[in-house]
Chain A
Amino acid sequence: MAVLVYAEHNNHQLKSETHKLVNAATKMGDTVHVLVAGANCAGVAAQASEIAGVAAVLVADNAVYEHQLAENTAELVHSLAGDYSHIIAAATTTGKNFMPRVAALLDVVQLSDVIAVESADTFVRPIYAGNAIATVQSSDPVKVITVRASAFDAAATGNSAPVSIVDAVFENKMSAFVREEVTKSDRPELTAANIIISGGRGMQDGEHFAMLERIADKLGAAVGASRAAVDAGFVPNDMQVGQTGKIVAPQLYIAVGISGAIQHLAGMKDSKVIVAINKDPEAAIFQVADYGLVADLFEALPEIEAGL
């Protein structure tokens, strides 16, 4: 059966989540199609057609899809659903926003944040902030699924799948885009970074995050934060790693001044190597850290920077 993958992109650049979704999709069905919905997104469609394993790319290129408003996007995906056994999107704020709407329009249950595919109808997903793992079987005719991209490897590139146009235009009169404030950063995105260095309440002040940024620049890393650091106003909330922020699984995660609350661990405990730097030897973060350093971060961070 065919699987429809909703491409994650910003109208210019296809996001790395999409490659991981395609890999997840190949475990669910034998044909994988990618839908690119946006405005002036032909370049994104071309990038999607290069992903190995993709049989076709569908492009809905229209101003009504520019900001991927849930109302319009859900109707579009719903209109295409008849040809597919599975519809999947990344468990990002975009996917989480419109996919349940698709599921309800189709009168099916959605499976959120899937981390493994056991068979075409059986999936694995974390519950209770990752403190339990549920294996669930869906009896619905169409499986509507959001996928935790960090749990899957990226599919290779080197393909040239045919690209076809979807003409359908769904424009609702109830919701309209007003403005956005994008956080500027030259560093890799949190969810795609191989190395992440995160600060917590122990950083004491937003200005001290500059110490993490200098190390991040040397390592080519992204900078993250705990909810405590975000709530204290040190850094913007899109840097938050945790159950209610971003879920990451980099090769190396360095937690600095982070105690290791359940909500934070839910966002990073699948990282390959975890390093904790904390002056409290009893901090919960040391229970999951591969390498722990009990030290004052204000002494340790300059030393690390000098040692790289």
Chain B
Amino acid sequence: MKILVPVKRVIDYNVKVRVKSDQSDVDLTNAKMSMNPFCEIAVEEAVRLKEKGVATEIIAVTVGPKACQEQIRNAMALGADRGIHVECESFPESLQVAKLLAKLVELEQPGLVIIGKQAIDSDNNQTGQMLAALTGMPQGTFASEVVVEGEHALVTREVDGGLQTLKLTLPAVVSTDLRLNEPRYAKLPDIMKAKRKPLDVKTADELGVDLTPRVTTLKVTPPPTREAGIKVNSVEELLSKLRDEAKVI
């Protein structure tokens, strides 16, 4: 079966973001960009399923500006067979991304879509669930284990209070949590080979999806800063501060 893996280009998770002084957005000028960490886990899981003989082809998909092709090539270096880039000027809202992906699901008919549970820029945690709704597929969100058995996938999910296992009929959408796997690094020869793998570029118009935003960002501000605290010299002093000054114990 085919596996479709959406990946997103985001600011590198180690970079400390700065808010623009006009409060319009965060400043991404010259910031290091990478593949969203949850998407790396999704690519890795797809590659492992191919190595086990479960998957026959892995298609990496991205939606966004031209620079996102870097992340598609990255996914190919890790093992994706081909790529689809839905090119648009900026990053659409998650509902629109889900609609674009739903069109690609219709075209490609994958047996499984593996997607990161959330992107570390917008922190939405929506696209996979929305895609499942739009395509009528079942969903296994926040997966820490995926076992494909014939027509079904057993997905163990990280939920508040423990773990939950679901049985999903394929095709299905699975979203990855951190402990699903440890992504591999791309090797230099694979990075070179990835440059020759096929990459198809489409537009939202071709796919018939309207990208008019529904949500307007009025402003983006830095979070309130905490007042500087004090260092105490002993446990005794700490406990007396907590009792008498902060009155929290």
Which residues of A are interface residues toward B (Cβ below 8 A)?
10, 67, 69-71, 74, 92-94, 96-105, 107-113, 122, 126-140, 172-183, 191, 195, 219, 227, 230-231, 236-238, 243-244, 246, 251-252, 262-263, 269, 272-275, 281, 286-295, 300, 303-304, 307-308
Assuming A131-B17, A132-B222, A174-B172, is B229 touching A291 (CB within 8 A)?
yes
17 A–B contacts, CB within 8 A, in A order: A70-B139, A97-B142, A100-B125, A100-B126, A101-B130, A103-B130, A112-B126, A129-B120, A138-B214, A237-B144, A252-B242, A262-B13, A272-B248, A273-B248, A288-B229, A291-B241, A303-B235
The B contact surface, by secondary structure, is mixed
In the complex, which residues of chain B have a beta carbon less than 8 angstroms from the beta carbon of A100? Answer: 94, 125-130, 133
Interface residue SS majority, chain A: mixed
Interface residues of B in 216-231 (CB under 8 A from A): 216-223, 226-231
CB of B221 within 8 A of CB of A132, answer yes
Contacts A101-B139, A177-B165 known; 15 new A-B pairs at CB < 8 A: A67-B164, A71-B138, A93-B158, A108-B214, A111-B215, A131-B16, A138-B215, A238-B158, A238-B160, A272-B248, A275-B238, A275-B242, A288-B226, A291-B230, A292-B232
Q: Say which residue of B125, B154, B167, B236 sits within 8 Å of A307 (CB atoms).
A: B236
Complex CA gap A101/B230 in Å reads 46
Contact A176 B220 (CB under 8 A): no
Residue numbers in B under 8 Å from A10 (CB-CB): 161
Chain A nearest CB: distance from B98 CB in Å?
6
Say whether A289 contacts B229, CB under 8 Å: yes
Picked from B95, B127, B214, B223, the residue with its CB within 8 Å of the CB of A133 is B223
Tell me the minimal C-beta distance from B186 to chain A in angstroms. 22
A-B residue pairs, 3 tightest by C-beta = A100-B129, A104-B133, A174-B138
A251-B163 Cα distance, complex, nearest whole Å = 28
Closest to B175 in A: A97
Question: What residues of B have a CB within 8 angstroms of the CB of A231 in the complex?
Answer: 178-179
B137 interface residue per 8 A CB criterion:
yes
Query: B26, B123, B160, B215 — which one has the most chain A CB atoms within 10 A of its CB?
Result: B160
Indicate if B192 sits at the interface (CB-CB under 8 A).
no
Q: How far apart sit A94 and B125, CA to CA, in the bound complex (Å)?
A: 12
Q: How far is the CB of B164 from chain A (nearest CB, A)?
A: 4
Q: Give chain B nearest CB distance to A102 CB in angstroms.
A: 8
